[in-house]
Chains A and B, each alone.
Chain A
Amino acid sequence: MFAQRAPLGAAAVSVSARQLDLLRCHDCGQLARRRPAPERHALHCPRCDARLHMRKPNSLSRTWAFVIAAFILYIPANLLPVSTITKFGKVDTDTIMSGVIRLFQGGDGGVGLLLFVASIAVPLVKLGVLSWLALSVHYRWLWRPRDRSAIFRLVDVIGRWSMLDIFVIGLLVALVRLEALASIRAEPGALAFAAVVILTLFAAESFDARLIWDAQEPES
């Protein structure tokens, strides 16, 4: 792949849409000039009719709300059992961590590591990074905006892989249902864990990465 930089226009100075009082439509990318709108009339995109906002509304508050809710649910997600395995009458109840340990003991260390990263490390790292980014925006840090942008995009991409454990439990529940002989049931921990994954997806969706750059620009 050849990476090609989109060159700036005639001016070499970098200027943001916000500084030109232009709004970028979140849904279609159209730029629209802001004009004083009559009272009670929201701004709408001239091309796709979506609501226009200079930045995602209440981005930080919404991000914090989802992050804090996810942090709280992360506790039951890890302490409550996620699945019960019945095999030849023997019943084993597993939390996420004990399931990982069981895989390591059974000689499937690779799969155990994969599940550990997807179910325990990724949600925690994602929540930590989002909190850190929200703080950095709140206090208008000037520190390495390009790297913070890249970290946000990375965290946004890897978050979906946390769904792995939910899908594995779903598949096992569907496959292993031979009553007393062998069966697997999902437990309340799985519900809490699914809620954590969804809340982190919403948290990343609420965070507006452009806020990282707003602090770098002089107020117009």
Chain B
Amino acid sequence: MTDLIACPSCDLIQRRVVLRRRGRAFCGRCGALLYRFVRSPVDKPLACALASLMLFLGATLFPFMSFELAGRTQHTTLASSAVALWSDGHPFLSALVLLTTILAPLVLLSGLLYLLVPLRMGFRLPGSRSLCRWIAHIKPWAMLEVFLLAVLVAGIKLASDAEVTYGSGCVAFGALIVTLSMTLVSWDREVFWSRVPCSLSEHLWAPPR
């Protein structure tokens, strides 16, 4: 029964198959993507998550964008939007921007490293199971690619009447989008869960612990 899966989008029971290189498995009934081929399912997301975390530090710490008008310059970092919205009296918008551009990606990346580093070395740290469940819930809230498009739109909007310069933080941010999407594409939570022993061999319901 271990190689049977149910499609998350239509509930059809299917058998997990070994994919060829670059292959992807789709549900035979509703067409949803079920899983894809990853040559090194632990090493690749691990390497990409490490690179992403370093780029993320670069993107937050280095100057992001600056705005120059009539000889006066305003420098910003990645966190400036959240700070400015907060000080202008928009705590809800500030929290939303902070969550989607900083907190969610940071928790996502550090959480993946907390799972993947021990997975690479063959052990599990405490709290891994809850963390792995949480990662799936946090993932949709990391909206860095939308923020990157917003950076371009804001740049175009201001370019007509002011000087806008992109700092090194912005370059790191652009690279981060690439490595983060590589991390998420190569991360298959089944890699983690397949190594977790089932509390009951026949997958019956388990009473709460």
Contacts and interface: CB of A to CB of B under 8 A. Distances in A.
B118 interface: no
B93 A44 contact: no
Contact of A8 (B15, B80, B92, B154): B15
B147 interface: yes
B198 A168 contact: no
B39 to A, nearest CB: 14
Interface in B116-173: 129-130, 132-133, 136, 140, 143, 146-147, 149-151, 153-154, 156-158, 160-162, 164
30 contacts: A2-B22, A6-B15, A17-B11, A26-B8, A30-B193, A31-B1, A34-B205, A44-B207, A49-B206, A114-B149, A146-B29, A149-B9, A150-B31, A160-B146, A163-B146, A164-B146, A164-B149, A164-B153, A167-B81, A167-B101, A167-B146, A171-B65, A175-B154, A176-B74, A178-B74, A186-B85, A186-B90, A194-B93, A210-B10, A214-B11
A6 B26 contact: yes
Interface of A is mostly: mixed
B32, B69, B81, B140 — which one has the most chain A CB atoms within 10 A of its CB?
Answer: B81
B105 to A, nearest CB: 13
B81 to A, nearest CB: 3
A92 B144 CA distance: 29
A47 B70 contact: no
Interface of B is mostly: mixed
Count class of interface residues, chain A: 35 or more
B198 A30 contact: yes
Interface of A: 1-9, 14-18, 20, 22-24, 26-35, 37-38, 41-50, 52, 87, 103, 106, 108, 111, 114-115, 145-146, 149-150, 152-153, 160-161, 163-164, 166-178, 181-182, 185-186, 190-191, 194, 198, 201, 205, 209-210, 212-214
Contacts of B8: 24, 26, 29
B185 to A, nearest CB: 12
Interface of B: 1, 4-6, 8-17, 19-20, 22-32, 34, 65-67, 69-70, 72, 74, 76, 80-85, 88, 90, 92-93, 96-97, 100-101, 129-130, 132-133, 136, 140, 143, 146-147, 149-151, 153-154, 156-158, 160-162, 164, 189-190, 193, 196, 198-200, 202-209
Contacts of B147: 167
Contact of A182 (B1, B90, B162, B205): B162
Given A33-B203, A167-B147, A173-B88, A213 B193 contact: no
